[in-house]
Amino acid sequence: MPTLQGQTMDEHFFKLGMDASEPYLTYAKSYTTVNSPQKPREWVKRSGWTKYNSDGSWEPVDAPNESMLTFDTEVMYKEHSFAVMACAVSPTAWYAWLSPWLLGESENEVQLIPLGDIKQPRIVVGHNIGYDRARVLEEYGMEQTRNFFLDTMSLHVAVNGMCSQQRPTWMRHKKNKDLRDKIANESNSVELAALLESKMLSEEEEELWVGRSSVNSLRDVAKFHCDVTIDKSQRDYFGELNRQQILGKLEELLDYCAADVAITHRVYKKVFPNFLEVCPHPVSFGALRHLSSVILPVNETWKEYLTNAEATYHQRVDDVQRRLVELCNEALKVKESPDIYMNDPWLRQLDWSGQEIKMVKGKKKGDPPRPAARQKKPGMPQWYKDLFPKSTADISLTVRTRIAPILLKLSWDGYPLIWSDKFGWTFKVPKDQVKKFENQPVVLCDMSEEKNLELRDDRKHVYFKLPHKDGPQARCVNPLAKGYLQYFERGTLSSQYALAKEALEMNASCSYWISARDRIMSQMVVYEDQVKQSGSTGEKSNRLGFILPQIIPMGTITRRAVENTWLTASNAKANRVGSELKAMIKAPPGYVFVGADVDSQELWIASLVGDAQFQLHGGNAIGFMTLEGSKAAGTDMHSRTAQILGISRNDAKVFNYGRIYGAGVKFAATLLRQFNPSMSEKETQQVATNLYRETKGTRTTRRILSENSFWRGGTESFVFNKLEEFADQERPRTPALGAGITEALMRRFINKGSFMTSRINWAIQSSGVDYLHLLIISMDYLIRRFNIDARLAITVHDEIRYLVKEEDKYRAAMALQVANVWTRAMFSQQVGIDDLPQSCAYFSAVDIDHVLRKEVDMDCVTPSHPHKIPHGESLDISRLLDKDQEAYLDPSVVPVLPPSPQKYSYTPREPVMAALQANNNPAFIKAQITKDDKELREIIKEVTKTKSATASTARSVRNGSKSTNFHSAEPQKAVLMDVDSGLYRDFRIGMALQRLVEMGAIENKNFVAGWAGGDGLADAAEDEGGDEGCVEGADAVDDSLGVAEGLKDARVGRGPDLLAVGIYVPDAGDAGGEVLVG
């Protein structure tokens, strides 16, 4: 193993993080202290970059070549994807770039913006800067530039973002506020009175977090951080005007672009210091450079992929549509035979009215009547007319059209499908056959409120809703959706026509392409010859191109990266058109992809949090299963869950992660219904409830054991209790890197217990992001230290892929293994465990491949890609070690760009988990394990007995001292302060003490300070009445009471004028200590 850069893993990673962050971190901090120079009054109309000096002069330049820039581009997005103008500002000058295409100097729209020497370190600040990076010239190359693209949107999300549950409330608040501001500017006060009457204003006051967050657009972020209102209406010009019209407004639009740059810099100056406070570890900053510089290489096969997928899609859709039209024409043949269509359970649902042809008088006297002009399909029934948007348009009939199931004559268990406006698709069963469906996952419909009189008045039949993956309340609106294919294969859903199954299969196979085709086809591909401007058309198959994924490196409050195509791309499936997308990313000749999937990353983090209480890997049940369970033997957590529930292992993964993230029984039941449709509703609820009882446990409230309610008796109770304790801190921080939660989810700004699922989810997912950041920084160091030719290609949550020179592939694989060991060791040490089991230390496999794909042995054969892709290589640690010198990280290698972590000094920090180990007393641990109520009562009895003995000793000590009359004292206001161990000698505490002595409240100064909030104490006082009333502090005092290190017990009593908190303090010369009240 390479040598560590410190005595602890935290010191090691601090130094690696600092080394990766510099000089960028220095630039970034410095850039927050400078003001932008004055914006130019006039702009020069010339292509390329123009520099505007602060003295008013200007000069043409090839590129800004600055070390600090704020940058923004503008794109005529309806014309093409390339920038037509850009503005940038440095601490000393303004810059503007104009496209030669815009000025008519070239008809080639592929114009990229140069930023300067790729060897020069620079920070480039922008709002959603990934969009602008895709238009930068130097980024399209195999060699990584030393640009650090800093995204103000990501910084804002990490510091003041909101979770998806909060967004609707925030939008409602914004709408109300905008309305209020509008009314305030008008003289008419009637609307204002109505607004006040509707209590909208009081609602805002209840939601404190609303004022601590905003959505992510530059307009909203600028308003939130800088209280600046900006007008974005000119942006529409880039979508509405042509080239000449844009040129006509050039001055105005450059002013608009420059204004965005100036406001982005102002936002940056506010939000970056806040980000460093929320995410103080240098690893959290340093990893962003690599995440913002990902790259995906392609060749000419990319164009073939788009052509083949589109052609396959159209061929399948057109074939099914053509045959649906044939069925439609078949149905039309009986339009004049009501006795036939009214006795057909499907056709009678169609509207056969409107077949009359409107006639008008002949043009001349004696001429016969003639059909009226502009009639839509005269003589045809209404249902047929409805298939044509206009009389001259083509028929609009697809598998998603409402009448398609009717034309296909679909049945459920042999009973015809009937459409209900209230319940969606149902099936009709004679009353004497209802028993057949008693234990099936279908819901009986109450037709009393149905609009269709024929269904409402039907006394001979009952109607059942078709099952839906979202539960019994949801209604099925398209039985030809891909989720119903399984019912077709089992024969539950059937048709008189073979076409029905084909239509379903077509819908399932094309669903991915239908949803993703616009995003995929709009991907911006730039080929090397276009960058070099060689003029070559380069039709050769080995033509190299690049896609720069427009990633938001911290797009969610958990700091996960967000991107709408590559981070959501599916894996290749044999029946899905276009699903070979990822495999179209192909390493250039001489390069390979080296990467790995982190094994059960978030599951391991969750189990480690539970193990922390025992300071032992595998100390709790889920931790042991995570370490010892094997996928191959079917003993890992996902395999066991799959066996218990009768579902696949992949489905069990969704189930398990949902539970770990805090989702409840309702979520579990919905998933079960989706994964195992044969289960009845009652059975689904029962299985989900039982599984939660066995895993999560039973929710219990015993304040003598724990201030908050806790889970007990489940295999995962320890984990959930620790996660909830974690999430319920004032500002939760991740255990590894100490990254804080967004302000909108801080406890002080939300109601007690609110958004708990989001906060638990944050604790796990944000720790997963820490894991990724630690891996990236480890690899950054190892790549430079051992001269490995590699750069980060893409990360997808728990997957990481590097683009590596062929001769370095095994050393890069070994570097990944080392990075994983370091990362897991860092997590373990930060929760207080100073060892690491081999079973989780290494990646189970490192993949070496020439394309991107989930597994190296996937053929990636799909309807649009019939040819197999040759397999790659997958190596576990043993096989990698067998490579000997090829995989050896030789310490004698002299680095070309030597890292220098040793020059940074390190100050030890207290681990985040240290503050959460307070309630590890044996009684509480036993209580979390027990399922038996009787055993729990015995534990409580033992704790009560111990506490009574302690209180008795404390009382005898107090009785020997002078009594104080508290009833005449003034009520004491709560004082909020942070108190560290030993700070009772501090000057401030001394002053407060002296004041209490003067009041006659206390005599003895030997105490450990705590703090309390009035509301919590008031609640506590209600628990016990009377002058002598006294209750256990752990039972009576809620979150508002915090106690410093050394606190052993607390007691609360209430008199007529005073609510007091007693704190038990051990005294050096006294066996029992004393209880002081103040």
Report the chain's terminal Cα–Cα distance, integer Å. Answer: 57
Statement to judge: residues 221 and 182 lie in one domain: no
Same domain, 177 and 145: no
988 secondary structure, DSSP code = H
Bond preceding residue 381 cis, omega within 30 of 0 = no
- Among 72, 151, 260, 386, the one annotated catalytic: 72
- How many CB atoms are closer than 10 A to CB 807? 11
Residue 61 and residue 149 share a domain = yes
Q: What is the pLDDT of residue 442?
A: 82
Kindly state whether residue 189 falls inside one of the protein's structural domains: yes
In a domain, 319, yes or no: yes
763 and 684 belong to one structural domain: yes
| 91 and 112 housed in the same domain | yes
Residues 898 and 1043 reside in one and the same domain: no
Q: Is residue 101 part of a domain?
A: yes
Q: Residues 412, 429: one domain?
A: yes
DSSP 870: P
Structural domain of residue 1039, as residue ranges? Answer: 954-1077
* Burial class, 19, CB count within 10 angstroms (exposed 0-12 / middle 13-18 / buried 19+): buried
In a domain, 298, yes or no: no
- Global pTM reads 0.83
In sequence order, what are the residues at sequence separation of 6 or more whose Cβ sits closer than 8 angstroms to the Cβ of residue 667?
Answer: 658
What 8-state DSSP symbol labels residue 225? H
- What is d(CA 783, CA 785) in angstroms, rounded to the nearest whole number? 6
Considering the domain architecture, whether residues 755 and 667 belong to the same structural domain is answered as yes
The answer to whether residues 108 and 191 belong to one domain is: no
Tell me if 443 is assigned to some domain.
Answer: yes
Question: What is the torsion angle, in degrees rounded to the nearest 10, for the CA atoms of residue 923, residue 928, residue 931 and residue 932?
Answer: 20
Query: What pLDDT is stored for residue 1063 in this prediction?
Result: 38
Q: How many domains does the chain have?
A: 5
Which amino acid is residue 373, in one-letter code? A
Q: What is the pLDDT of residue 570?
A: 86
Residues, the chain: 1078
In a domain, 590, yes or no: no
Q: Is the residue at 935 inside a domain?
A: no
CATH of residue 258:
3.30.420.390
The torsion angles phi and psi of 286, rounded to 5 degrees, stand at -60, -35
* Domain end position, chosen among 913, 933, 966: 913
Could you tell me if residue 894 is inside a domain? yes
Q: What is the mean pLDDT of each run of 10 residues along the chain (1078 residues)?
A: 94 97 96 94 95 93 95 94 97 96 93 95 97 96 96 97 92 84 68 58 65 94 94 90 93 96 97 96 97 96 96 93 91 90 92 78 73 75 90 86 93 93 93 84 86 89 88 87 85 87 86 92 92 52 88 95 92 93 96 94 90 90 84 82 82 84 80 76 84 88 87 90 86 93 92 86 93 98 97 93 97 98 97 92 95 94 95 95 93 93 93 76 88 90 83 62 39 35 39 49 39 32 32 31 32 34 37 37
597 is catalytic: no
| Separation of CA 135 from chain center | 26
179 and 151, same structural domain? no
Q: What is the DSSP string of 801-812?
A: EEEEEGGGHHHH
- The confidence score (pLDDT) of residue 680 equals 75
Determine the residue type at 837: P
Are residue 904 and residue 1037 in the same domain, yes or no?
Answer: no
**Token pair recorded at residue 17:** 């993080």
Q: How many Å apart are CA 71 and CA 86, to the nearest integer?
A: 7
SS3 label, residue 301: helix
* Distance between CA atoms of residues 149 and 807, nearest Å: 30
Same domain, residue pair 127 and 172: no
